[in-house]
Amino acid sequence: MTLIYNLGKFVFYFIFSSLFINSVSIANEKKLNILLIIGDDIGVEVFPEYQIGKIKAYLPNLQNLMKQGIRFSNFWTYPTCTPTRSSIITGKFGFHTNVLKVNDKLSLNETSLQKLIRQSTNNLYSDAVIGKWHLSKNPKHPNKLGVNYYAGLLTGSVSSYNDWPLTIQGFTSQNKNYITTKLTDLAIEWVKRQKKPWFLWLAYTAPHRPFHIPPTNLYIENSISGNIKKNSRSKYIAMLQSMDTEIGRLLSSIPKKELENTVILFIGDNGTPKKVISGYKKSHGKGSIYQGGINTPFIVSGKMIKRKNEVDDSLVNSTDLFATILNLAGTKITQIYDSKSLVHLFDSSSKNHREFAYSEVSNKKISGYTIRDKRYKYIKYSDGKEELYDLINDPMEKENLKFSNMTKINFDKLRFYYLNIIKKIRSKSNMKVNYQ
């Protein structure tokens, strides 16, 4: 009897365990994989399919993602690397985190996107950040902030793409592999190891300085205008193309069924460096809160994206990636902190996302902020200087309407209007959480 009892008990537990494992497996299959790719120093003017700018890079893999998804034309970041990355991982504007400029350290008191996903899904997701961190130089900072696996570059740039400090899970050693390729290798290896749904944040250093000629297998020289040996912009485009090539290699490495269950998001972290920018004034590039400094490419493709080869002109902030990715991971959160989910735009266009987009700048010379609606963009600096642009009729921001034929009364009305919006944005009471 004991034998029969134990045998029955074993069978019961075997069946139960099998059912449990299968149910988890089925649940996991239904959960999306999420791939966020960040390119370094890329404005819309150099990107194919965007209307601004005339000299475009040839980027077949990213162009294919655009054909299979949505490209957002009014995506705003911060004008430099660190605050943009902070805004994505916290869902907060810089004035809420005190991360406003390059090399500002993100407090460990903040709740990272990765940590919140695990908390909200009962640890269903694996997560990793691979590539550029730039939120602290402490090698243990990514893990302490809540990132499960970190491998990459802690600082904002490298002196050489072929000789750079690679940090993996808190330990740093010198690496002599071409950094764009090495980061892709690390991403491929990590994805292959995953048994659960995953969220991968892949942050390339390309095409950030130093401008150089990449390995010949990563770019097509006859697709690049100018003398690549002498022209910094030609080198910049070759570096951008090398990143595109490696993105293609990463996507090709993911099994078909797994890739079909993956949402892919691609952004530039800020505008094009002033040395290599075209179309815009050089002073309107990276580091500024003009369009050339904060309007960057944003592409969404893959699973759940029903709109194909469409342009969306909704106003979008980099903070919005926080709630969007939380939503994609299966949470009911649609608005949290300074972040609003974009998921409702993935199957149809809508005029009800944001009324306003916001960004700010802080450096040794000056600080200030900017806000825009569908038409006008207002800028105010700490020294009192003000600017107003009509982005519909003047997308290159050539005419400051404060000194145009616009009457002082109309300018004052718009200024008062935007300043009141700024007060609401900066109010801590605005940091609410909304659910579906």
Q: Which long-range contacts (CB under 8 A, 24 or more apart) does 24-27 make?
A: 27/124
In order of 158, 188, 435, the CA distances from 162 in angstroms are 9, 20, 46
Going along the chain from its start, the domains and CATH numbers come out as 31-351 (3.40.720.10), 361-433 (3.30.1120)
Q: Indicate the pTM of the whole model.
A: 0.91
Q: How many CB atoms lie within 10 A of CB 15?
A: 10
3-state secondary structure of 181: helix
Parallel, antiparallel, or unpaired for β 33-39 and 198-203? parallel
Q: What is the pLDDT of residues 11-70, one digit of tens each?
A: 333 333 333 333 333 344 479 999 999 999 999 999 999 999 888 999 999 999 999 999
Nearby residues of 200 by Cβ (< 8 Å), 6 or more positions away: 33, 34, 35, 36, 127, 128, 130, 187, 190, 191
**Six-digit token string for 377:** 């963009």
Q: What is the pLDDT of residues 106-135, one digit of tens each?
A: 999 999 999 999 999 999 999 999 999 999
Edge-first strand order for the sheet with 357-362 is 357-362, 367-372, 376-381, 386-390
Tell me the pLDDT of the chain averaged across its residues: 91
Average pLDDT over residues 321-340: 95
> Which residue bears the tokens 């997308």?
395
- Which H helix or E strand runs over 215? none
Q: What's the CA gap between 244 and 249, in Å, rounded?
A: 9
Q: What is the pLDDT of residues 418-431, one digit of tens each?
A: 999 998 888 765 56
Band of pLDDT at residue 96, cut at 50, 70 and 90:
very high
Q: How many CB atoms lie within 10 A of CB 355?
A: 11
- Listing DSSP states for 113-141 in one string gives HHHHHHHHTTS--EEEEEEE--S-S-TTH
